Amino acid sequence: MQAKVDFIPPMPPRQSGPMGLIPVARVMRRNPVESLAHVNFELTRISGPFLGVTIHTLSGPEEIRAVMLDDVEAWRKSPVTQRILRSALGDAILTAHGDSWKRQRKAMTPAFLKSRILALSGAMDRAGQGLVETFSNATGPLDVSGPLNVATLSVIEAALFPDPGPDFDRAAVRAAIDVVIGSIGEVRFSDLFPLPEWVARPMGPKAFAAMTTLRRAVEVQIARRRELGLEEDMTSLLMADTSMTDRDVRDNLLSLVVAGHETTAITLAWALYLLSKYPSVQARLAEEARAAIASEADPAARLTCLPYTRQVVEETLRLYPPAPMLSRRAIRPSRIAERETGKGDLAIAAFYALHRHHRYWDNPDGFDPDRFAPDRRPADPWVFRPFGGGPRACIGNAFALNEAILVLARVVSELEVRDAGDVPEPVMTITLRPRDGLRLEFAKRD
Ligand code: HEM
């Protein structure tokens, strides 16, 4: 089925050429993806100096692979990212380097085995059912961002704390998460300066109080398991690794909450928006979802009956990658696609530009889930990297895909998603989300 070719989903403006310091500062504050220029979508690497540092903006598969896989030891997560995340999440999986990271990644791995992720399918389907209820009770256009965040948070909660006990204040924890994620997502002017990573980026008093609430809530969960015995949940699996202190467990659980819930909620928001604009794609997905739900009561088994829904999710991640750009700093000289790079250089893996690159995609800014059909999928896996790549690739990749597929199938099988006239502006605040939320309308299918 052909997607509509005359409609191009909203995208941030692109620069026509290099910018000076003040315009860059303004764009970085407003929306960092707008710092990308047309040339980033046509060439694969643009290098130049900025505030005394050589910056390589990479938008080709070979170039991105060079820093994320081929010489991964040379390219560390950049100080800006570290400074932003460390103040909230300590030295856990998202921010640690070297042996400390290896130890924590290893401790986390059993929790992400395929069978464990599949066991969460019921919680994912229930999150979809909760959304059907919320969306069908709305009497007009509804901002889907809040309900989607609640839905994805409920899945993370089911994974980490399926039985949190009577004292778990879900509402207070959810409110605190919103405050912390909001504070992490703000790009500040001072973030532009290449300060070393140990210069902590202070949190405001509101974010600090919220972080304290979250840490206490997680500490109570850890203590509860020590007292009552370990269960079959992610928290217990992390605690079972003897190399992990209670503090490591706490900071890694909070890292999962931060890394794993807003990203999936945003993916679902963009997918619902795109479906509202492409009725024929929506009709095909609804047909597949209804047949899958009718024939397969077990949500885990249903996943194999939803190949087109998967294609829609992948195409959404191509156009609106929740992590549109990642940066790395070289701790020693290296090479990117046959060219020498120096110690201290900054590499920006611009997935947003890679995913819309003229060399690798036909009609790159158009929405066409069939480009992920089995016979048309890109042959080179490095042209599509919504989950990053190499050893530090997203550990929650399968978790996120399964969740997005099951939730989308449930919602679209029961409700028709309709355009409510919103033109969402994609803005990067670490993640790429609609700037002022996203209003959509829903109608029950017969
Ligand atoms: C659509 C949803 C998601 C997207 C697009 C996404 C994307 C990414 C990306 C690009 C990275 C690499 C970061 C870097 O190299 O600097 C990453 C890392 C990570 N993600 Fe995800 N993610 C998603 C969902 C999840 C979920 C559901 C979880 C957990 C439940 C999760 C947990 C993590 C963790 C722990 C890391 C750090 C891995 C490491 O450094 O070893 N993510 N994610």
pLDDT bracket for residue 2 (50, 70, 90): very low
Ligand 1 centre from 444 Cα, in Å? 34
Ligand 1 centre from 403 Cα, in Å? 14
DSSP 355-405: TT-TTT-SSTTS--GGGGSTTTS-SSGGG--TT--GGGS-TTHHHHHHHHH
Chain segment 232-242, per-residue pLDDT in tens: 889 999 999 99
Return d(Cα 379, Cα 360) in angstroms, integer.
10
Q: What is the extent of the structural domain holding 178? A: 21-444
Asked if residue 10 is part of any domain, the answer here is no
Ligand 1 centre from 370 Cα, in Å? 25
pLDDT bracket for residue 78 (50, 70, 90): confident
**pLDDT above 90 for 166:** no
Percent residues over pLDDT 90 in the chain? 72
Cβ 258 under 6 angstroms from ligand 1: no
Relative to beta strand 326-330, strand 334-336 is: unpaired
Asked if residue 11 is part of any domain, the answer here is no
Q: What pLDDT is recorded for position 397? A: 97
Q: What is the mean pLDDT of residues 107-121?
A: 96
Cβ 259 under 6 angstroms from ligand 1: yes
Q: Closest ligand 1 atom, CA of 328?
A: 16
Percent residues over pLDDT 70 in the chain? 93
- Looking at residue 38, which CATH number applies to its domain? 1.10.630.10
**pLDDT above 50 for 3:** no
Q: What pLDDT is recorded for position 142? A: 97
Asked if residue 2 is part of any domain, the answer here is no
Q: How far apart are the first and last CA of the chain?
A: 23
Asked if residue 358 is part of any domain, the answer here is yes
Return d(Cα 442, Cα 434) in angstroms, integer.
19
Chain segment 325-375, per-residue pLDDT in tens: 998 999 999 999 999 999 999 999 999 999 999 999 999 999 999 999 999
**pLDDT above 60 for 376:** yes
Pair 377, 311: CB distance under 8 Å: no
Return d(Cα 117, Cα 123) in angstroms, integer.
10
Cβ 84 under 6 angstroms from ligand 1: no
Tokens for 95, please give them: 């921010």
Ligand 1 centre from 95 Cα, in Å? 12
For the chain, the domain total comes to: 1
Asked if residue 16 is part of any domain, the answer here is no
**pLDDT above 80 for 172:** yes
CB 243: neighbour CB atoms within 10 A? 9
Asked if residue 46 is part of any domain, the answer here is yes
Residue 341 sits at φ, ψ, to 5 deg, of -130, 160
Cβ 385 under 6 angstroms from ligand 1: no
**pLDDT above 50 for 293:** yes
Asked if residue 113 is part of any domain, the answer here is yes
**pLDDT above 70 for 202:** no
Cβ 29 under 6 angstroms from ligand 1: no
Asked if residue 13 is part of any domain, the answer here is no
